[in-house]
Amino acid sequence: MLKELLKAPTVSCRGCSAFQYTELAQYVDSHQEEYVEALRDWVAVESDSSNVLKRSELNRMMEMVAQKLRQMGGTVELVDVGEQELPDGSTLALPKVATAQFGSDPNKRTVCVYGHVDVQPAKLEDGWATEPYNLTDINGNLYGRGASDNKAPVLAWIHAVAAYQALSMELPVNVKFLIEGMEETGSNGLDAMILAQRDTFFSDVDYIIISDCGWLSRRPALTYGTRGNCYFYAEVEGPKQDLHSGVYGGAVIEPMIDLIGILDTLISPSGKILIPGIREAVAPLSDEEWKMYQDIQFDMDNYRNKVGVSQLMYNNKVDLLAHLWRYPTVSIHGIEGAFSDPGTKTVIPAKVTAKFSIRQVPNMDPAAVKKQVTDYLHSVFAKRKSPNKLKVTMVIGAKPWLADTQHALYEAGKAAVKRVFQMDPDLIREGGTIPVARTFQDVTGKSIIMMPIGGFDDGLHSQNEKISRYNYIEGTKLFIAYLNEVSQITIQV
């Protein structure tokens, strides 16, 4: 088979085909209000995957995705990916995953675009300036939950394909879509689906494109790496019930004090992880990486002001970016069982559970991290000689992902950015975790690129999430241009 005999891909023959970019870009500009209304319809759906009471909304969202793809003439399927078990032991059907295909020319490259349409929770009383599920245009920014993460990018890809169709232009590559509805809660069922369809849906896919990330600055970016995530529960249990601190304080060894004591041993005030074996597994920063970070457009003062702090952990760009992208971090997220309501309550909690995570990087293995953290916390706890019981559980073990920036996919990405934005992109890594990237890489063996269109200030997962109209519309043009650039990737024999 020819593909089995071929070697590394390269990009060649740029501009030799009659790519009508100007006509396509003009079409996008003339239909931007239609695109905004499509986003408004999608944002209006409260597709919160963390709330089982919103599951009907999430299912409706997946039906809307499928319907939009069907209206464009795609071969569309809603794939059943099973059930999830709820805390009370009952089960609930997972939202189906939408797949679609446009074109099946064996002489063309085939790309698969991944995205998700579920969102983080949002309520007006959380501090939103506008209703989170009512897309609101303020000074060119489109505010709404899920606007940037990830509904606008998914729509931009759909509109990119639709633009070719509307102008009766042949798609330069075959395009497949895989759109899910559980990304924000761990992509339940997706890994098994990808494995099950490795030799069917993915058999003719050459490249996978993910646009579930953002730029670092006002300069467009291509993303080539993400950190993984090991998420832990540390539970300390003591008396059989909550106790009155006036009656029992001083008589019992309190679980909360034990818990805070062991949490304090995870990381130093300067950010140094104290768990043996974690830092030792990290590859050193190479001279080439240092130069890449040094060349990236990044304003430390703007970043600090945006975060709203007086001081950052590091005072130079390279150190800060390195610790955001390619070094592990420990974050403590909360304590379940502790009194947190307004007012006062003199209670000694009987059982408290800390929730913390370690963002992991290449060369770190989740199984090894689980053992290192568990062994370390138990050893620290043992030194306290407490009668209370400690239980450590790792509930997420997502691996990091790293791509080769010299791959032709990235050369094609640079060319597309140059065409649309008249500038070179930053090559960046992402501090967060997109587990499906590593799954795609491990299961399918396909090459992957992350091509963001979200802005650096979009406020993902936060109050007042938005995407700018500029990024949404120009991002659609970027995807149009990228499909053409990918079609010109040739294989060297």
Catalytically active residues, by annotation:
118, 183
CB 203 within 8 A of CB 197: no
Q: Rounded to an integer, what distance in angstroms lies between the CA atom of residue 184 and that of residue 95?
A: 13
The residues, ordered by sequence, that sit 6+ positions from 415 with a Cβ below 8 Å of its Cβ are 11, 14, 481, 485
Q: Are strands 466-468 and 141-143 parallel, antiparallel or unpaired?
A: antiparallel
Q: Which two tokens stand for residue 483?
A: 């499909």
Of 254, 269, 285, the residue nearest 361 (C-alpha):
285
Q: Rounded to an integer, what distance in angstroms lies between the CA atom of residue 95 and that of residue 120?
A: 16
**How many other β-carbons are positioned within 10 Å of the β-carbon of residue 323?**
16
Of 92, 52, 64, 99, the residue nearest 78 (C-alpha):
99
For residue 214, the one-letter residue type is G
Q: Rounded to an integer, what distance in angstroms lies between the CA atom of residue 287 and that of residue 396?
A: 33
Q: Which two tokens stand for residue 122?
A: 């949002």
SS3 483: helix
Calculate the CA dihedral of residues 315, 316, 319, 324 and round it to 10 degrees: 80
Q: Which two tokens stand for residue 157?
A: 């890809």
Q: Are strands 489-491 and 329-336 parallel, antiparallel or unpaired?
A: unpaired
CB 337 within 8 A of CB 352: yes
Spatial strand order in the sheet of 136-138: 136-138, 141-143, 466-468
The residues, ordered by sequence, that sit 6+ positions from 380 with a Cβ below 8 Å of its Cβ are 261, 262, 265
CA 449 to chain centre: 13
Mind giving me the DSSP string for 330-376? Answer: EEEEEEETS--SSS---EE-SEEEEEEEEEE-TT--HHHHHHHHHHH
Q: Which two tokens stand for residue 263?
A: 């949490």
**How many other β-carbons are positioned within 10 Å of the β-carbon of residue 472?**
24
Q: Rounded to an integer, what distance in angstroms lies between the CA atom of residue 262 and that of residue 238?
A: 15
Q: How far apart, in Å, are the Cα atoms of 483 and each of 59, 62, 157, 175, 321?
A: 30, 25, 10, 9, 30
